[in-house]
Structure 1
């Protein structure tokens, strides 16, 4: 579970990014976060892994550890090794893919296993058979197993984003936050990647928070929408309940589907 309680984020220059956020996200939800550019969408999802520390309020993340036991984290209080371990349990996907272009797809995915290695294996980058099995299985689930020994830089944008998603799966993270993961893709690849998110959400019960500009994709694939406007949550509910009036509430009276998409 991810729980925002009276969360605010104020930048050093005094600009308010988030105002009085009160949201609870349960295990296994697929949440689309929508709103105009600058509304606070990216800030909202990046507070979850403390890339953007909150200014006040409480942000509590509860997830299972390797033993299957629930552990509660007060994100604001985390630092040092505890913060690094916490971040290793949250997958992060961005529009830049973050793949090493000269490395093979498999090596890019295997990088996710580094956080689970003892120091001596990290130094020499020694992966076990189990590490490789997990990485190859992730590639198989996303339909790109045949690209395992191909250089990442030779792949299409959609395939590269699948590599990034496979890396998050191999990280065995119960939560994935995705910041505009399809904004740089053409419509066909964007839909394929969103379908991949939907698949792993359903099959592996991974909680996914996705910040997305493409409203039509958010409405097609996610199960819950959080609408953000000027740092405030103005809609939080089932995707099925989002209509034109809700979208006007999120985007304003001048909402135009072609402009937003």
Structure 2
């Protein structure tokens, strides 16, 4: 069995550089891809996250300037891989923020997996995260409302399917987790937003910083611990870590 990871960009999010890299370039506007991942070649067709919403919804509830072109929604891109939405058996969520969970009605029969702590926080987020989870209190309806999830517990790595496992990497959110995929080239780690760009892993050698952490987090201490854990699981190979919003992934050498 040889698993293949396909990168799928579901649109572009208007943001600021200091959300991607903590305390860097405050006020500098950037456009970042909203990435999700298709894993094929195994027992089941698997998505890791489902990406962002349409332009109108993204600008209304989230980040001004965000854009999803026609045909960029996750379910619209599956035919490029010879699949339709009903062919997706399993969706693993790194976390439940708005730009990772959209278009779930297109996958009514897929099994959904996330971490228990993420589900708990998504159901009752603090006010500064109401928009991130599209909490009904702001007038939105989150795509995962009414859906059943398989909830993972604890921080130990857990096999989901042969060659695919998940492990707890909190910090960006209370229940973030990363997904390890065994490929012919070795293990890759789909990190969600525990790693937003490769700059997080390059760090700042001039300041003797091993990592340059993400700029949006619930626990900065967990952020650093999770970066260590992700790099270790990827065998210390930075290129085997797949960030959630790195522009170099788009148009890069894929699939892997």
* TM-score between the two structures when normalised by the length of structure 2: 0.32
* TM-score between the two structures when normalised by the length of structure 1: 0.32
Choose 1 or 2 for highest CA Rg. Answer: 1
